[in-house]
Amino acid sequence: MRLGKKITGGKYHASRKSQKHELPGIPRIVKLRAKKTKVIRGRGGNKKLVLLSSDIANVTDFKGKTKKSKIINVMETHANRFLARQNILIKGAIIETELGKARITNRPSQEGTINAILIKE
């Protein structure tokens, strides 16, 4: 029996079309460049500040102190190694900063900032 077909060979028809809120959004890719943000309209008219590119991260050290630091390079990404080659910043990416190696702990494309914690080398 083929997918989407009745046992008699007829088609199953969808009961309705997909609604606008069910459609996928445009993927926002955060690149390693000068800071650029965008305000988008959310559901109910709410505003969301999203990040399109950035070269600064809020880095927390081992004592719990947070400092702004310039991002030099994206070292590795566990999700996809090609994202690191293209200098794309996502959650869990290992970045090289002025303070040392750090791991991104938030989702930059959703929150408008980059937060990271230093990792022991």
Q: Using alpha carbons, list the distances in angstroms from residue 106 to 10, 37, 98.
A: 48, 16, 19
Q: Taking 70 as the threshold, does the pLDDT of residue 73 lie above it?
A: yes
Q: Give the integer Cα–Cα distance in Å for 30 and 55.
A: 10
User: Is 46 a member of any domain?
Assistant: yes
Q: Taking 90 as the threshold, does the pLDDT of residue 96 lie above it?
A: yes
Residue 1's pLDDT is 53
Residue 77 structural domain:
28-118
User: Is 60 a member of any domain?
Assistant: yes
Q: Taking 80 as the threshold, does the pLDDT of residue 94 lie above it?
A: yes
Three-state DSSP state, 66: strand
Q: pLDDT over 70 for what percent of the chain?
A: 98
- Tally of domains in the chain: 1
User: Is 21 a member of any domain?
Assistant: no
Per-residue confidence band for 24, with pLDDT thresholds at 50, 70 and 90: confident
pTM of the model: 0.79
